[in-house]
Amino acid sequence: GNSVTQMEGPVTLSEEAFLTINCTYTATGYPSLFWYVQYPGEGLQLLLKATKADDKGSNKGFEATYRKETTSFHLEKGSVQVSDSAVYFCALREYAGGTSYGKLTFGQGTILTVHP
Amino acid sequence: AAGVIQSPRHLIKEKRETATLKCYPIPRHDTVYWYQQGPGQDPQFLISFYEKMQSDKGSIPDRFSAQQFSDYHSELNMSSLELGDSALYFCASSSGQGISYEQYFGPGTRLTVT
């Protein structure tokens, strides 16, 4: 079955530091890849996505490139802010046949804490 | 903009009791997904509905049942609750069931079983 593996956390950074959160996946076909962010006490919000190989998703200074050859979708940001402190989930969706269209498979989540 | 509404936001039940969680999708969204997120865990897919019919099923226990009603809201019914059912339950909705349709998540219902 499909699976997503994220780097183990938590990650603690100082403001303006560079961020990388690694994500690799296993899928039978050609999934779409996503990064979701969860702020304390809130639901999951879509941060960015990529639907095919070599696509780059970007939003709010975050970027991730769909690398089919390494089955990876690493999240990066050049300069983090305190307000970026949250839990980040890598996820994939793949059509599995029949009516199994769109369930998300998530990674373990990475807690990011940014200090001033 | 209207978002996904879940009720209640917090629920405390005892073992062997029953719980009902409700999800109100974004207006004109016809697809609903349910996910369970245990403490420190990633969200796990439970079940989904499209146009009031079950469209996919994940790791949902037989003690749980769900349905989508004519107004597209959905309810997750959980019986014979166990301590391990304590989790955050998310509902997500989308305007279609294809992969290109983004899932919008509600704030979740935190269920605590004592």
Residue A55, pLDDT score = 95
pLDDT tens, position by position, A5-31: 998 789 999 999 999 999 999 988 788
Percent of chain A with pLDDT over 70: 95
Residues in chain B with CB shorter than 8 Å from the CB of A25 are none
pLDDT tens, position by position, B20-57: 999 999 999 999 999 999 988 889 999 999 999 998 89
CA dist B2 and A33 (Å) reads: 25
Average pLDDT over residues B72-91: 97
CA dist A26 and A30 (Å) reads: 10
What one-character DSSP code corresponds to residue B47? Answer: E
pLDDT tens, position by position, A86-104: 999 999 998 766 656 678 9
Asked if A107 reaches chain B (Cβ–Cβ under 8 Å), the answer is: yes
Residue B82 has pLDDT above 90, yes or no: yes
Asked if A3 reaches chain B (Cβ–Cβ under 8 Å), the answer is: no
Residue B98, pLDDT score = 74
Residues in chain B with CB shorter than 8 Å from the CB of A96 are 56
Token pair for A111 = 């807690």
Token pair for B100 = 């290109």
Could B56 and A106 be called an inter-chain contact, meaning their C-beta atoms sit closer than 8 Å? no
Could B45 and A105 be called an inter-chain contact, meaning their C-beta atoms sit closer than 8 Å? yes
Percent of chain B with pLDDT over 70: 100
Residue A60 has pLDDT above 90, yes or no: yes
Residues in chain B with CB shorter than 8 Å from the CB of A105 are 45
